[in-house]
């Protein structure tokens, strides 16, 4: 099953480690940064490109 994506600005559904899957504008992201978010915290823009991104929870 594919990982659920979360968009920049949405709130994390659960505490965990997340990484950028791809950018919202359709470009692929070379950003391998992983971030830790607590439940309810907002997903930030991609740290390296500073653009809206889709995030996935790290398994």
SS3 6: strand
pLDDT at 14: 96
HSE-up of 16 (CA within 13 Å, CB side)? 12
pTM (2 d.p.)? 0.86
Over residues 13-55, the pLDDT tens digits come to 999 999 999 999 988 888 788 999 999 999 999 988 899 999 9
pLDDT value at 11 more than 90: yes
pLDDT at 1 over 70: no
Q: What is the pLDDT of residue 38?
A: 98
């Amino acid at each position: 099953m594919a990982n659920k994506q979360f968009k920049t600005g949405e709130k994390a559904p659960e505490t965990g480690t997340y990484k950028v899957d791809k950018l919202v504008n359709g470009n692929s992201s070379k950003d391998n940064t992983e971030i830790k978010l607590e439940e309810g915290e907002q997903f930030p823009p991609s740290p390296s490109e500073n653009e809206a991104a889709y995030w996935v929870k790290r398994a």
